[in-house]
Chains A and B, each alone.
Chain A
Amino acid sequence: MHAIQATGLTKSFRDVHAVRGVDLTVEDGDVVGLLGPNGAGKTTTIMMLLGITAPDGGEVRLLGRRLPRDRVAALQRSNFAATYLGLPYRLTVREILRVYADLYGARRGRIDELIGMFEIESLAGRMPSDLSSGQQTLVILARSLLNRPRLLVLDEPTASLDPEMAGRVRRILAAEHAAEPFTILVTSHNMADIERLCRRVVFIARGRVVADGSPSGLTERYGASDLEETFLTIAAEARA
């Protein structure tokens, strides 16, 4: 089964064509990086994949469910984390996790598991306003694993994290994935993160998929020394 099957996605905002016919298929259990320069259409594509924004054209199936018709069934088994998401204020971290456990139908014991796994015991009784942006990101990431998602979409998950915290997140994701494989679609400007996590990367530029393959395969195809150089080459080609 495909975890994500998107065909011909298009989206325009007034006269700006943000996404121009993106086809994206992700196999169940795969870990895929969605890369591209700022304004390439990554976040708009993610918003359409999650049913948050309706595409102007094209079709999305998540975990075999067609959006928007089967949105609830698809999202019940998916989850999403991004650094730009907020946390409800005037709730403690534990209360936030409790609310989202109810929203996703997760079991209560999972909250303590995640608090332990992310080493955020000292934050559990604190409110988001008392947390640093990095600590808030950790809570958002912990929240995204509450329902043991079959599909996890991460938009810049480690952007506000220091190297130690980012490493902790990568280890947790790898351990969870090894214990029970699930699909991860991740965007990041940190190429080291992508190389460590992803078996496949999809490059988007100017709203179109311009390259698709394994990190090493694409690096070789573009005659680059690493993924960062590959990124710079593709971005320069897209600008030209």
Chain B
Amino acid sequence: MNARRIRAVFRRHWYVIRHSPDEVFDILYWAFLDLLLWGLLATFLQRRQIDLPVPVGLLLGGALLWALLWRTQMGISTAFLHEVWSRNLISLLASPIRPGEYIAGAILWTIAQLAVGWTAMAVVAWTLFRFGIFSLGPALVPCLAVIMIFGVAMSLAVLGLIVRFGHRANVLAWGIGGMLMPLSAVYYPVTVLPGWAQAVAQGLPLARVFEAMREVIAGGPVPWDRLGMALALDLAYLVAAAMFARAMFATLRRRGYVTRYV
């Protein structure tokens, strides 16, 4: 790994944002919209004294953690899509940068975006709805880690599909998160899902994290076993996604798909 090449990737995406207020708007808009909608709904339920277990924390915690996943996956995927859209991919392939260095630069860039955007969301959640993400206590760090690692795994899978299928796969960058959302039990317990879907949800680290979040917000102890299992699943998905992206990249070189990016 070469630090200067990783910095080059970070710098390249920082320059884009510096010249593109519309991209900043795009980063913040949907996440804030989600937060406002769920926060207002929770406030309404509370004011009507509808008996739900801590609805504000439950819904806003879900919205905040889901936004983290969404931004992690989108940050890395769109970084790569910028290379495709601007026909810069061949120049990168002809340069000495390793795929791992590119991914590392894109991950660092995404973390920088999250440090600003997601922190701002957390502050808004506290200011408007008195929900503090730190109410997750010691479970906060593993929850964030599991979600971010899964976001990286998702983006590697998307990257592999874009490399293999070209522009046709662009839509997956936006759609893949949405496909997993119902099974991830973001705003409701896994038991709400039909039987077959519960079985699928058990195989997703996300469902385990959101279940853990609800337990902690409801005042229960931190379910370390559940979080540990989520992390183990996470690492398995990450390895599988990295292998998939690597295989698709090898296919790009072998079959000469690179002409798609001319």
Contacts and interface: CB of A to CB of B under 8 A. Distances in A.
A95 B12 CA distance: 8
Given A53-B253, A53-B256, A89 B86 contact: yes
Interface in A106-158: 127-128, 143
B95 A104 contact: yes
A91 to B, nearest CB: 5
A72 B8 contact: no
Interface in A78-95: 78-80, 82, 84-92, 95
B255 interface: yes
Contact of B15 (A54, A80, A90, A104): A90
B5 interface: yes
A57 B85 CA distance: 32
A204 interface: no
A100 B94 contact: no
Contacts of B16: 88, 90-91
Contacts of B19: 90-92, 127
B20 A90 contact: yes
Contacts of B179: none
B94 A52 contact: yes
Interface residues of A, number: 39
A103 B5 contact: yes
Main secondary structure on A side of the interface with B: mixed
A102 interface: yes
Contacts of A92: 15, 19
Nearest to B257: A53
B10 to A, nearest CB: 9
Given A54-B253, A103-B5, A103-B95, A86 B11 contact: no
Interface in A21-68: 44, 47, 50-54, 68
B130 interface: no
A71 B5 CA distance: 15
A170 interface: no
B256 A102 contact: no
Contacts of A54: 250, 253-254
B2 to A, nearest CB: 8
B87 A102 contact: no
| B19, B83, B94, B253 — most chain A CB neighbours (10 Å) | B94
Nearest to B19: A90
Interface residues of B, number: 33
Contacts of A88: 12, 16, 82-83, 86, 88
Interface string B11-49: 110011001100000000000000000000000000000
A99 B86 contact: no
Contact of B258 (A47, A91, A105): A47
Nearest to B261: A86
A84 B253 contact: no
Contacts of B12: 88, 91, 99
A84 B92 CA distance: 14
Given A54-B254, A95-B15, A87 B8 contact: no
B93 interface: yes
Contact of A86 (B7, B87, B250, B253): B87
Nearest to A82: B90
A98 interface: yes
Interface string B93-106: 11111100000000
B91 interface: yes
Nearest to A71: B96
Contacts of A86: 86-88, 91
13 contacts: A47-B258, A52-B94, A53-B258, A73-B96, A75-B95, A88-B88, A90-B16, A91-B15, A102-B7, A102-B8, A103-B5, A103-B8, A103-B96
Interface of B: 2, 4-5, 7-8, 11-12, 15-16, 19-20, 82-83, 85-88, 90-98, 250, 253-256, 258, 262
